[in-house]
Chains A and B, each alone.
Chain A
Amino acid sequence: MNLSEALKTVDLNDILDRLNAYAISRLKSVNIKSFDGKEPIDFVGDLLLKVLDGQRDWGKARCNFREFLFGCLRSEIDNFFRVKKYIVSDPPPEFPSFQVSTKIVEQRSHVTELLIKAGADDDEQTIFEYWMDGVIKPAEIAQDLGVDVKEIYTIVRRLERRLEKIKYKALRII
């Protein structure tokens, strides 16, 4: 399928909103307010231009077009962080980091405790446990729990906000 056909397989209006939402989520993960004057939608636009002029080559992709765009955006943002030396695990100065534990099981348990203290309900804790067990696709979690996937989407939204709140405390403890 060439690029022209691929562009017609997705609702471009929806995919731009979706990519923008993902860019916002990723950019929030570093403690930086300004990204060279760029907004999340600019990262999406830059990526789209690279796909259109072939710098990001759809012809070599082995996935559907939506996954291709998402994968490219992830890589673009990773590259941006790398070049600018933004590291997701860098806490701001008011949260100095020190090593308490190195075992992932203990670290996972610390993060769960923080989530509970921050008000995470049972549903959010369950989804977090699935993620830590490596089950990350909403549809798979929904199937395993026997619930509608829309319920999982709503819980993930809450969990993402909760993780944002505890991020620096987690960095300090772990």
Chain B
Amino acid sequence: MNENIIKRIDDALFNFYLEADESIINDSVKENILDREGYEKKKKRFLFLAQAMANKQKNDYLISLAEQVQQAIEKGIEKPISILRKLIQGETTPALCSNLDKLSKEDIIELIKEKNLLELIESLEENDQE
């Protein structure tokens, strides 16, 4: 078949599988996979690997972020410190919050890990650029 025709069909099917409804995808899985049990086993392994990697990356990232926050506290850089204070407002460990300079890296991770860190990250990046 002419390559232009083939390419157009390929491109269209690429978009179809990218966008199609979940029910359409489920039908395709049912229709085309004979060994469903084997398929699900493989899929479960890939899901586990992806989740494990995502968690590991998140931990590595939090450690790196905590180090940057610690440096900002040591240097007394105002913006990240004020954002950190805002983030940890109302924490159950007020003693930690009032003595930021006494925080260990692990304390910082504990305080920030479940927070929306976007503003804090931006402030640290701004500081890096200055």
Mostly, the B contact residues are: helix
Interface size on A, as a range, is 35 or more
Give chain A's interface secondary structure class. helix
CB distance from B19 to the nearest CB of A (A): 5
Please determine whether B46 and A44 come into contact, CB atoms closer than 8 angstroms.
Answer: yes
Interface centre among A12, A21, A111, A134 (most CB of B within 10 A): A21
Q: What are 29 A-B interface contacts by the 8 Å CB criterion?
A: A2-B57, A12-B47, A14-B22, A14-B25, A18-B18, A21-B29, A29-B10, A41-B39, A41-B43, A45-B42, A48-B50, A52-B53, A67-B18, A104-B4, A107-B5, A108-B5, A111-B5, A132-B8, A134-B8, A136-B11, A136-B12, A137-B15, A138-B19, A138-B20, A153-B16, A153-B20, A156-B13, A157-B24, A174-B2
Judged by a CB distance under 8 angstroms, whether A57 is at the interface is no
A13 touches B11 (CB 8 A): no
Of A3, A20, A29, the residue contacting B29 (CB under 8 A) is A20
Chain B residues whose CB sits within 8 angstroms of the CB of A49 once the complex forms: 49
| Contact assessment for A48 and B49 in the assembled complex, using a CB-CB cutoff below 8 Å | yes
**Is the beta-carbon distance between A7 and B54 smaller than 8 angstroms?**
yes
A3 touches B1 (CB 8 A): no
**How many contacting A-B pairs (Cβ < 8 A)?**
136
Count of chain B residues with Cβ under 8 Å from any Cβ of A? 44
A26 to B9, CA, bound (A): 11
**Whole-angstrom distance between the alpha carbons of A107 and B33 in the complex?**
34
Q: Of the candidates B3, B9, B26, which one forms a contact with A17 in the assembled complex, judged by CB atoms under 8 Å apart?
A: B26
Q: Which 4 A-B pairs have the closest CB atoms?
A: A22-B17, A4-B57, A136-B12, A21-B28
